[in-house]
Every structure is written in C-alpha cells, then in structure tokens.
Amino acid sequence: MSADGRPVFLNVLQIRMPVMAVLSVLHRISGIILLLLIPPLLYWLQLSVSSQVGFQSAFNWFNGISGQVILFLLLWVLLHHLFSGVRFLLIDIDQGVDKQSARLSAWLVLLLAPCSSLLLMWLL
C-alpha cells in the first residue's frame, strides 16, 4: 500500500534479484518439475519393459526430435537440481557462505548444468 492507502502495482520483472536468489527459486522449480515428471517417466519405463514392441516404440520416441529435446530438458532440470542441491548442502556446512563465493558458486551451477546436459546428450 502507498502512503495514501492505494495499492501499488508491483512489476515482478523490474525487481533485480541477486543470482543466489534466482538459483534458489530455480532449484525449487526444478524440484517441482522433477516431481511432476515421475508419472510420465514411470509410464515410459513400464512401456519399455513390457515387451519388445513396447521397448521399440519408447526407443523410437526418444530418437525423434521431440524426444531428444525433452530428454535434454529433463537432463538439464535434473543436473541443475543436483548441482544446486550440492551447493546448498555445502552452504549448510558453512562452505562458501561469504557473498563472493556464494555468487561464484551460483553462477557456476547456472553454467555447469546446461553444459553438462549438452555433453551428456552428445555422449548419448
């Protein structure tokens, strides 16, 4: 509320959050995405082990361009959640708590997750 009692328009896109806060929000979002992806991943697993025809259809789907994009995004979300989780565990034991190293580790996680996803996709 403003001084005269009127509501204030809050433009979220104009708020500049530090990179550590952005990483924290993305860590929570990636956890939610991983939770929501459990049913489709279990379906694909069940399809692939049900029969040879089911395995071939799951394999063909993941070899298509849409399957490759989804697999890359899944790897990115998984690795981002893993790397930022390790970062938060290190912060819990008082490693990298100061502002400069926290900012550096946040940028490292933000750069390392997509790069490792690309590397894994290239190796697969």
Spatial separation of the C-alpha atoms in residues 43 and 92, rounded to whole Å: 36
- Whether 117 shows a pLDDT value over 90: the answer reads yes
Domain membership of residue 69 (yes or no) is yes
CATH number of the structural domain spanning residue 40: 1.20.1300.10
Domain membership of residue 5 (yes or no) is no
Distances (CA, A) of 121 to 4, 6, 19: 56, 52, 27
Please give the model's pTM, rounded to 2 decimal places.
Answer: 0.81
Position of tokens 């929000």?
A: 25
- 70 closest CA partner among 25, 27, 123, 121: 121
Domain membership of residue 93 (yes or no) is yes
Domain membership of residue 8 (yes or no) is no
Spatial separation of the C-alpha atoms in residues 52 and 92, rounded to whole Å: 47
Dihedral sign from CA coordinates of 107, 109, 110, 112: positive
Domain membership of residue 42 (yes or no) is yes
| Residues of the domain holding 44 | 18-123
Domain membership of residue 7 (yes or no) is no
Spatial separation of the C-alpha atoms in residues 98 and 1, rounded to whole Å: 34
Whole-number pLDDT of residue 10: 75
Percentage of the chain with pLDDT > 90? 59
Whole-number pLDDT of residue 2: 64
